[in-house]
Amino acid sequence: MNTAIVTGANTGLGFECARALAETHDWHVVLACRSAEKGREAVKRLFAQTAYKDIEAMTLDLASLESVRSFARDYAAARRPPLRAIVCNAATQIVTGRTYNADGIETTFAVNHLGHFMLVNLMLSQMTPPARIVVVSSGTHDPAQTTGMPPPVYRRARFLARPDEDSKPLDDPQGTAGRRAYTTSKLCNVLFTYELERRLRVEKAAGSNGRLITVNAFDPGLMPGTGLARDYGRVARFAWRFVLPVLRPFVPNVNSVARSGKALAKMVTEPRFERISGKYFQGAREVPSSKDSYDPAMAADLWESSAAMVKLTPDETILKLRSAPSAA
C-alpha cells in the first residue's frame, strides 16, 4: 500500500483521478481540497462508488501559503503508507476581474503555479522513492494550440504574481487578461516540471542515496462540462456544459473527464512511466511542449522567483535554491 495526494480532488479531473486510483485497491488516496466540507462529501461519494475505504480528505487552499505549510505539517504529523505520488491537479480560471490572495499575489498564478511549487518542495522530504509527481498543465500553454484563448506571455515571474507592478503591462481587456493569466500559468506548470526534473537529477547525482523521484507534465485535453468555466458568462457556460460535449467525438484532444482522469491516474500507477521524467504527455502519448517551455533561463527565473515569493528556506526542501545547471 502506498499513498497518493491529489489536489483539487473533490470534483472534475481530480475526482476522477482519485476514483481511478481507489479502484485499484492499491493506494491510500488523499483528497487535498480547499473546502473541508466538499472534501468530506467527495470521500463519501468515492466510498459509495468504489466500495473502497482507504481514502481521506485533507484541507489545502493553494491560494494561501499558510494553508500549504499547514497541510505539510498536518501530513507529517500522522502515519500513513509511504508517499509515492503527488498529482498537482487543482486549477482556477478567473475572467471577471483580477483578484489577489491574502499574500498579495494574483490568484490564478497563486493557485495554478505557486501553491503547487511550494507544496511539492515541502513534501519532497516526505516522499519515499521510487515516487512520481505529475503536474497537470494544458495544451493552451502552447501558442500553437490556444484556439479561442490568448497565448501565454511570460516576461518575469514577479509580473505574473504582481501584474500591477509591471511598468509595461499588456493592453488586454478584462476578460482577455484573465484568460491569458490562465494560459500563462499553464506554461508555468510545464516550466516548473522541467526545472524540477533538472534539480532532482542534480540532487540525485550529488549522492542522495540514489533517490528516484520522477516528474512529468500532463495535458488532459479539453474537458467540456467541468467547473473550469464557472467564471464565464451565461452563454459561454451553457456552450461549455452542453454544446461542446456533443462535439467530443469529432474534435481532437477533447475528452470526457472520466477518460482523462483514468489517463492521469495511469501516470501514477503504470510501470511504464516508472523511470520516465521531464516529459510532457497528452493523455498517454508523449508529445513536445511549446518552444518557450524548454527555455532554461525562463524556468530558472520562475523557480528562483517562486522560492523567494513563498520564502522557501533550505531546510524546507531537499533541493538547492540556487540555479541548477541546464540539461546538456
Residues recognised as catalytic = 182
Dist. CA 61–CA 51, nearest whole Å: 28
Name the residue with cell 493592453.
171
Residue 245, preceding bond cis, omega within 30 degrees? no
Euclidean distance between the first and final Cα of the chain, in Å?
37
Dist. CA 321–CA 195, nearest whole Å: 12
Q: How far is CA 326 from CA 196, 297, 317, in A?
A: 11, 9, 20
**Cβ–Cβ under 8 Å, residues 269 and 117:** no
How many Cβ atoms sit within 10 Å of the Cβ of residue 7? 24
What b-and-e string marks burial along 271-303, b requiring 16 or more CB atoms within 10 Å of the CB? eebeeebbbbbbbeeeeebbebbbbbebbbbbb
Name the residue with cell 474537458.
223
